[in-house]
Amino acid sequence: MASVAVCPGSFDPITIGHLNIISRAAKLFDRVIVVVMVNSRKKGMFTPDERMDFIRRSITGLDNVEVDYYDGLLADYAQRKGAVAIVKGLRVLSDYEDEFKQALTNKRLAKDIETIFLVTDTEYMFLSSSVVKEVGSLGGEIDDFVPPEIKDDIIKRIRER
Ligand code: ADP
């Protein structure tokens, strides 16, 4: 049976750090579903539709990757999709505590689904969606932070907000 993995996140917006994790996951699993989730603790800048559109335009070369949106429990979603794994990226030690809690919670809720952490490539260690929004809104270059296909649109929309 084809192996399915989900890559959840806020993706507000997607960065090349996210894309690095998604493309590596795409080599490990037959099918990868990138799922946009709205984190109630983080105030988003882009709508779920905008985030999905940015992701779709960034993954054109990755044939086994698809994009979705879900506003419920990740464990339920992953089970419903028949996923064997939840793939997350780890940047720095400070990511770890929260990710560890989430992984343990998800294991309780869906015991057959494994959370797998891929360690970021060193060049993306500093990179987050917040960095993109901060630099972009202050007029800085975001060329090294987001996929080239979506750079202009992100800047345009940041400036409109
Ligand atoms: P952010 O922390 O930037 O708001 P998300 O909630 O969208 O990110 O994160 C989705 C997943 O992508 C998380 O597992 C997060 O750790 C991972 N991730 C985010 N940025 C990077 C990066 N630069 N390198 C590796 N993984 C990352």
Taking only the tens place, the pLDDT of each residue in 86-116 is 999 999 888 899 999 999 999 999 999 999 9
- What pLDDT does residue 42 have? 75
Which of the 8 DSSP states describes residue 40?
T
Domain count, the chain: 1
CATH of the domain at 54: 3.40.50.620
- What pLDDT does residue 58 have? 98
Strand-strand pairing, 114-119 and 85-90: parallel
- What pLDDT does residue 160 have? 87
| Both tokens assigned to 45 | 């800048």
Ranges of the chain whose pLDDT falls below 50: none
In terms of residue numbers, what domain contains 81?
4-160
Q: Do 158 and 45 touch, CB atoms closer than 8 A?
A: yes
Pocket test for ligand 1, best of 15, 18, 58, 116 (most atoms within 8 A of CB): 18
> Does ligand 1 have an atom closer than 6 angstroms to the CB of 91?
yes
What is the reported pTM?
Answer: 0.94
